[in-house]
Amino acid sequence: MTAPTEPGTPLEGMTFDAALVALEETVAGLEAGGQQLEDTIALYERAVALERHCSKLLADARLRMEQLVERAGGGLDVVALKDEPETRA
């Protein structure tokens, strides 16, 4: 079994913390240099995929937090939000 930070590890099911560590390690590998061109491209692709995965997990967490609304008595209600983008006037 591969560790969450190894390049071949699938992103599905990877936690935000594990993905962030993997992203940091991947970026460090890119910054260190010294790889063959194909290896550099593979690292870059992995970094982009990890960044997108982290962004999606953060957006999902934000949505979950926005769905919690405080009631007058101090309790919390869950409010279903529309999937439509917010428009501001």
Is the pTM value of this prediction over 0.85? no
- Reported as a single tens digit per residue, the pLDDT across 77-87 is 767 666 655 55
What is the b/e burial string over 54-70, where b = at least 16 CB atoms within 10 angstroms of the residue's CB?
beebeeeeeeeeeeeee
DSSP 8-state code for residue 56: H
Q: Rounded mean pLDDT of the chain?
A: 82
- Reported as a single tens digit per residue, the pLDDT across 22-62 is 999 999 999 999 999 999 999 999 999 999 999 999 999 88
